[in-house]
Amino acid sequence: MSDLDVPLRPKRKKVWVDYFVHFRWIVVIFVVLPISFTLYFLTYLGDVRSEMKSFKQRQKEHDENVEKVVKRLKQRNPKKDGLVCTARKPWIAVGMRNVDYKRARHFEVDLSAFRNILEIDKERMIAKVEPLVNMGQISRVTVPMNLSLAVVAELDDLTVGGLINGYGIEGSSHIYGLFSDTVVAYEIVLADGRVVRATRDNEYSDLFYAIPWSQGTLGLLVSAEIKLIHIKEYMKLTYQPVVGNLKEVAQAYTDSFAPRDGDQDNPEKVPDFVETMLYNPTEAVCMTGKYASKEEAKKKGNVINNIGWWFKPWFYQHAQTALKRGKFVEYIPTREYYHRHTRCLYWEGKLILPFGDQFWFRFLLGWLMPPKVALLKATQGEAIRNYYHENHVIQDMLVPLYKVGDALEWVHQEMEVYPIWLCPHRVYKLPVKPQIYPEPGFELQHRQGDTQYAQMYTDIGIYYAPGPILRGEAFDGAEAVRKLENWLIENNGFQPQYAVSELSEKNFWRMFDAELYEQARKKYGAVGTFMSVYYKCKKGRKTEKEVQEAEQAHLETAYAEVDQPMD
């Protein structure tokens, strides 16, 4: 068997859930889409109402809401009440992982009011926002000013708090890093009710570096100051088809944004935006974008494509036409480009609505898209949720750039999931070691894409039904994820925590670094107040007893190895 041959698997016997999932589009069309549209519209009205208020008034309301959070925390009796968590319903989070820890007894703190843009500071080039501000909301306000967050995650519904405490990436991350790398300051309510502002160089710098990837287990985020950049009205996007084996595709992807001479910080050589989509093991399209002015876009002969219209082809399918058309260039309005994957949820929309990409559906009902992920989760039930865990893959592999070819071959052999999304991002060398970190000594290797201060990684987005499932063969989704996680650990990779994980606690801390995180938990009183990040991400139901026992173990040991002197 060659390296790219996939193993032979026995045929899988269908169960009743298969048929329910096959016809789930009925529920989506008649229930999920109308409710989603209504919620989107009501949210929009609320955002407009907030934007009509002065920044001063919004800040006053923010301060009042922070006081309510402090008061609520001080009402908690640690001996009688459960661990602190937000009052947000478990199914609202965007991601496959259900928030199972909320099934245990817990002490709720309501943060639902924290959804306002507090200030756009054009002098400091900072946006001060609350944690429930989402990407659609912030881009609607900033883009008309020719400003933008340095990293704007593609899906409208993704919130600032989720992208900071969890994981956020975009096609500009090869320049600016992950979403959390663009944050200048955090406003955090600690376990004891103190409100602190953490920056990279003040007395709370350890907290500043520990917050990303902490899943809200160090304190309650109530606002963040995030870096803004100057932008232009259009994105000049170049579509470059690539044909070859997976290693050749990986090299073409690398060459699209990483100069071979190592001049990675030269804007003349490095595009503003990058992504690549693989449609099968031998065909891909590399896309590179440069900001362009309205005057340039409207010059005679240039093609403007308003991809944001509801009846337009889904973006990933539009990009795929480059495989037949050859290389081409077009100009896309910047905000529409930012959210290019929202309407079809990358390509998950094809499984949710098999005919959703057809012209008749796009024209008649495309304006209802996308369905809210939260509603999809709320209407799926336990049986369907387990079905997706076993027969579907929604994972991101964060791997060093030079290992992308190896990772693609591994994914093909073990999962056969296509399309695949590739998006590069920097992992910075910092004065401390947070949960994710570059490989030791990477700067001495002078590899393509790396600099002296950051190692280039790539997000390999694997979202779809695996090939074996599509062919009606047996497939063990949990085992496949375990193999994926082991591969990442062995290859200095990371797995975003929004995904369903099979990691044991030992392997979790083999993948991520515990030292700074656990020091911050003890120093700022999070142990015994907020659940640990591993237990919060752990798959499966959690009873009150399990939660108490896990937290007691932390109180007694508090990762004793962290306290041991370094060799």
| Torsion 318-250-275-263 (CA) sign | negative
Report DSSP letters for 166-204, one per residue. Answer: T----TTHHHH-SGGGGEEEEEEE-TTS-EEEEETTSTT
Report, as ranges of residue numbers, the positions in the chain whose pLDDT lies below 50: 1-2, 558-567
pLDDT of residue 420: 97
**3-state class of 161 per DSSP?**
helix
- The full length of the chain comes to 567
- Round to whole Å and give the CA distance between 448 and 40: 42
Q: Please, which residues have CB within 8 angstroms of residue 321's CB and are 6 or more apart in sequence? A: none
Does the reported pTM lie above 0.75?
yes
Q: Which residues pair with 421 in a beta bridge?
A: 277, 461
Check residue 545 and give its pLDDT: 64
Domain residue limits, the chain: 58-230, 386-500
Tens digit of each residue's pLDDT (9 = 90 or more) over 282-319: 999 999 999 999 999 999 999 999 999 999 999 999 99
Instruction: Note the pLDDT of residue 525.
Output: 92
Kindly list the distances between the CA atom of residue 507 and the CA atoms of 362, 504, 513, 564, in Å, as whole numbers in the listed order. Answer: 44, 5, 11, 20
- Integer CA distances (angstroms), 121 to 55, 117, 126, in order: 10, 11, 5
DSSP code of 313?
A: P
Q: Are 350 and 463 in contact (CB under 8 A)?
A: no
pLDDT of 496 reads 92
Long-range contacts of 29-37 (CB under 8 A, 24+ apart): 29/353, 29/365, 31/379, 32/371, 32/372, 32/375, 32/376, 32/379, 33/365, 33/368, 33/369, 33/371, 34/368, 35/372, 35/375, 36/368, 36/370, 36/371, 36/372, 36/375, 37/367, 37/368
DSSP designation for 304: B
Q: How far apart are the first and last CA of the chain?
A: 45
Helix axes 477-490, 381-391, angle to 10 degrees: 50
Q: Which CATH class is domain 58-230?
A: alpha beta
Separation CA 538–CA 552 (nearest Å): 17
Q: Which strand (E) or helix (H) includes residue 286?
A: strand 283-292
State how far the Cα of 40 lies from the Cα of 422, in Å rounded to an integer. 29
Return the structure tokens found at 374. 């939260």
Q: What is the DSSP letter of 282?
A: T
Kindly give, in sequence order, each residue whose CB lies less than 8 Å from that of residue 411, ignoring residues fewer than 6 positions away. 397, 417, 420, 460, 462, 484
User: What tokens appear for 556 in the block?
Assistant: 């007694």
